Amino acid sequence: MTSRISPLDLLNNSTKPYINVCAPMVRYSKLPFRELIMNYKVDLTYTPMILAKEFKNSRVARDFEFTTNKNDTPVIIQFASNDNVELLKALEFVVGYVDGVDINCGCPQKWAIHEGIGAHLMEEPEIVRDMIRTIKGSGLNIPTSIKIRIHNDIKKTHEFVKRAEVAGLDFITVHGRTRRAKSSSPVNVMAIKLCKESINIPLIANGDVFSLKDAEKLYEVTKCDGVMSARGLLKNPTLFTGLEYTSWNCIEKFVKLSIAYGTNHFIFHHHLMYMFEDVMSNAERKTFNALTSIPAIIDHLEENYGLQI
């Protein structure tokens, strides 16, 4: 059986300048994709954001939201919560099957803000502190992190990360945009750099990493301990290897993993739409994007790319 890998060992003892990290992505960073990218120099993966309350209360939710296997390491489970008791009870279901827990303090979606979770927590440092302390005082002995966005006033971000560190946080991920910033707006790299200089725990930098050069540049400016990619890895799961677009070998591996694990049509199709974005012509992409079933997708790949299942 594969031994579990601690994210803290990676962050503190890596022989590389920084580790490569796949972001938690709603719907997308599930088991088949996590297993795929570990073949392409990704060092650490995250589950999608999971609502702690639903996960705690529902066996159906637990079976749907989190699947794993012996090779799924190191993996961080990310929970969205604003209740320390619910968070701890949700975490207790997965202890031994994950290598760390992350509290989502950065989801900018309106529904999350309304529910008092995600980026709303950037205005509630006491709640975040209590959740960190509850996990660290539980005896579960699990590495704990938070993923945040920055405030408009960078001084508030500085205070926020310092308070989280004092509460017992093991490491932190900083996305260099505010909760209201569009994904097309530039990342505030200097804000990430300030956070890194403000704390004595590892920091993972996040935002606009679409190539290996982007990752290297982000590290050079921030001196972070890890570089995280989200949309970049969706489009090109091989980006940390230096390839500029998704190889056919990578796509074929993803198809086989998805079929083996029973990925649903929507997620399967959308992953492939991202991966083929720079590979297909506009005409073929239009045809491919209109396919409505997994068999139709498989037929297309067999006929046009020689896919062998």
Q: Is residue 27 part of a domain?
A: yes
* 144, 198: one domain: yes
Once rounded to an integer, what is the mean pLDDT over residues 290-300?
A: 96
* 232, 265: one domain: no
Once rounded to an integer, what is the mean pLDDT over residues 13-26?
A: 95
Q: What is the pLDDT of residue 25?
A: 95
Assess whether pLDDT exceeds 90 at residue 203.
yes
Assess whether pLDDT exceeds 80 at residue 282.
yes
> How many domains, in total, are found in the chain?
2
Once rounded to an integer, what is the mean pLDDT over residues 99-113?
A: 97
158 in a known ligand binding site: no
* 208, 265: one domain: no
Q: What is the pLDDT of residue 3?
A: 86
Q: Is residue 1 part of a domain?
A: no
89 in a known ligand binding site: no
Residue that is last in its domain, among 220, 241, 262: 241
Q: What is the pLDDT of residue 283?
A: 94
**Can you give the pTM of this predicted structure?**
0.96
* 36, 85: one domain: yes
Q: Is residue 2 part of a domain?
A: no
Q: Is residue 198 part of a domain?
A: yes
* 132, 209: one domain: yes
What confidence tier does 308 reach under pLDDT thresholds 50, 70, 90? Answer: confident
Q: What percent of the chain clears pLDDT 70, i.e. is strictly above it?
A: 99
Q: Is residue 85 part of a domain?
A: yes
Once rounded to an integer, what is the mean pLDDT over residues 168-182?
A: 96
* 288, 169: one domain: no
26 in a known ligand binding site: yes
Q: Is residue 44 part of a domain?
A: yes
CATH number at residue 104: 3.20.20.70
231 in a known ligand binding site: yes
Once rounded to an integer, what is the mean pLDDT over residues 193-217?
A: 97
Nearest partner of 234 among 214, 210, 218, judged by Cα: 210
* 225, 274: one domain: no
24 in a known ligand binding site: yes
Once rounded to an integer, what is the mean pLDDT over residues 142-171?
A: 97
Residue that is last in its domain, among 194, 212, 241: 241
Per-residue tokens: 253: 């591996």
27 in a known ligand binding site: no
Catalytic residue numbers? 107
What confidence tier does 278 reach under pLDDT thresholds 50, 70, 90? Answer: confident
Averaged confidence pLDDT in the chain = 96
What confidence tier does 93 reach under pLDDT thresholds 50, 70, 90? Answer: very high
Q: What is the pLDDT of residue 1?
A: 44
Residue that is last in its domain, among 241, 260, 295: 241
* 25, 59: one domain: yes
Residue 135 burial by Cβ neighbours in a 10 Å radius (0-12, 13-18, 19+): buried
Nearest partner of 251 among 293, 302, 184, judged by Cα: 302
Q: What is the pLDDT of residue 2?
A: 60
* 295, 206: one domain: no
* 166, 208: one domain: yes
283 is in which domain, residue-wise? 248-305
